[in-house]
Homo-oligomer: A and B are copies of this chain.
Amino acid sequence: MGNKGEKTKETIRRQAYRLFAEKGFQAVTMTDICEKTGLSRGGLYRYYSGTGQIFAEILSEEYVIADRIERKEQAGAILEDMLKAIKSEIMDKELSLSLAIYEYANLGNEDFFTNLNDKARKRWISLLEYGIETGEFQAVDTEQISDMILYYYQGLRMWSRVIPFEEQVAENYVRTVKQLLFGEEKL
């Protein structure tokens, strides 16, 4: 697919993301996505066969860190960027896909989520291992801390849709992760 095709797909995913965050998974139709993107039905179906395919691709879009580790960037700098992205997601409740994820999971996509979760876990473990190796992070149990980082974040994302959050809630998350890894005093 050419550059233009990739750009169109990106636009579709970006617009569909907002719809899924707003309405959940099941209430969003291909027609809604046509309206939102201005594409014709034929135009949309050229790229995606249905809302499930679009949603799965959105969820698979990942914050890529393998390249940065490869280039031997500082583990602390990579961590900062990931935490920054997470923090802005937590504070922007309009962007939470939690409800849509729930609905999509209940349609029997367990394997998909198991896979997604595994990948996220491996990504964090690889960053933690890298940072421990370079001596930037403390020698934590990487599996244990990855779990904490991931599920604590998921809990925040879910509740950010349910109740209003103060900035402090997101800051506490960032602070806890950093203190565990950098070992600052008094938690």
**Chain A residues within CB distance 8 Å of chain B:** 98-99, 101-102, 105-106, 110, 113-114, 117, 138-141, 143-145, 147-148, 150-159, 161-164, 168-169, 172-173, 175-176, 180, 186-187
How far, in angstroms, from A155 to B152 measured CA to CA in the complex? 6
Contacts of A105 in B (CB 8 A): 161-163
Q: Is the beta-carbon distance between A148 and B162 smaller than 8 angstroms? A: no
| Chain B: minimal CB distance from A167 (Å) | 13
Q: Is the beta-carbon distance between A155 and B151 smaller than 8 angstroms? A: yes
How far, in angstroms, from A50 to B154 measured CA to CA in the complex? 31
Asked whether A147 and B173 contact (CB < 8 A) given A158-B155, A186-B140, the answer is: yes
| Chain B: minimal CB distance from A69 (Å) | 22
Closest chain B residue, CB of each to CB of A171: B144
Contacts of A187 in B (CB 8 A): 138, 140-141, 144-145, 180
Q: Can you name 19 A-B pairs with beta carbons within 8 Å? A: A99-B102, A110-B162, A110-B163, A110-B164, A113-B162, A117-B159, A117-B163, A139-B186, A143-B168, A147-B176, A148-B172, A150-B155, A151-B169, A153-B155, A154-B154, A154-B155, A155-B156, A158-B158, A180-B187
Q: Is the beta-carbon distance between B156 and A151 smaller than 8 angstroms? A: yes
